[in-house]
Structure 1
Amino acid sequence: MANNIGLTKDAGWQFGIRKTVATSLEKLWNIFFSDRGLSYWSEGVDRNFSTFKEYSHIRTKWRHRDFTEDANLQIRFIPSKNKDKTTVSIHVDKLKNENERELCKEYWSKVIEDLNKLLEI
């Protein structure tokens, strides 16, 4: 039997990634949701967020330009205990197949990899 990494029992395919950066939750959140930040990461994102809990998390729909349907997107911001670092956690589910998962992985991995560039002012 094949090892289908990312295939769930009832939510289709999923992908998740996280990264910790050396900045406060408030600073990262404010930059992430600024016009500059949104232009950096939100291609294909429905900006009418179904959940928008300030300094915590968002939920919405996301569609890669090669998808035919929306996937679910969650982004969480988790402060470190001493508040000098913040972890960004991105999770996407309701992907239709392994190919969509791979496209999702490429897109969100690039966003996470380059997160420190967003923090440069």
Structure 2
Amino acid sequence: MGEVGLTRDAGYQIGVSRTLPLPAERVWRFMTSEEGLELWLGPSPSIELRRGGGYRTADGAEGEVRGLREGPRYHVRLTHRSPDGAETTVQVAVTPKGERSVLRFHQERMGGPRERARRREHWRRIMDSVEGTLTPAGQ
């Protein structure tokens, strides 16, 4: 049996998903808004949200949008180069599920199991923040 999260083609990877009680379009609009981008991409992101568009955050992370699809299934795939030079691939997807939607974060090409564990916790915290921002208490 292989290591958890290790794939032959994409190295170490992690995925986190959650069903939200909101339509996919609304979740996508938030995820691609200034507030949403800062939440999952990093501080003060400057991004051209189009295929081939670049981005840079205030903490020095940068990359390029490799794929973008909007409605009814939403998806963005981008390279992510951290200030220390490590490069991974990050994907954010929002898919409709009736009146609700499923939000997914996926990251691949990580350096090892420790980085995978750190990124798993990172994406779980981001997911909690997104849900807390979009979903009023008790909904």
**Do Structure 1 and Structure 2 share a fold, with TM-score over 0.5?**
yes
**Correspondence for 2:15:** 16
| Structure with more relative contact order (C-alpha pairs < 8 Å, separation 6 or more) | 1
- CA distance in 2 between partners of 1:40 and 1:114 (Å): 8
Aligned sequence identity (%): 24
- 1:118 is displaced (CA, Å) by 2.5
**Correspondence for 2:75:** 57
Unmatched runs of 5 consecutive residues or more in structure 2: 43-60
- CA distance in 2 between partners of 1:113 and 1:68 (Å): 27
- Number of residue pairs matched by the alignment: 116
TM-score, structure 2 as length reference: 0.73
TM-score, structure 1 as length reference: 0.83
Alignment root-mean-square deviation, CA: 2.1
Q: Is the 8 A contact 2:12 2:113 kept in 1?
A: yes
After the TM superposition, list the runs of 4 or more consecutive aligned residues in structure 1 that deviate by more than 3 angstroms: none
**Correspondence for 2:96:** 79
Q: Is the 8 A contact 1:37 1:118 kept in 2?
A: no
Q: Is the 8 A contact 2:94 2:102 kept in 1?
A: yes
**Per residue, is there more strand in 1 or in 2?**
2
**Correspondence for 2:86:** 69
Q: 1:94 aligns with which of 109, 117, 120?
A: 109
Q: CA 1:79 to 1:45, structure 2 compared with 1: closer, same or farther past 3 Å? A: farther
State whether structure 2 residue 22 is matched by structure 1 residue 7: no
1:39-85 C-alpha deviation (Å, 9 max, x unpaired)? 11112463x411111231010012456x53110111111101x2x10
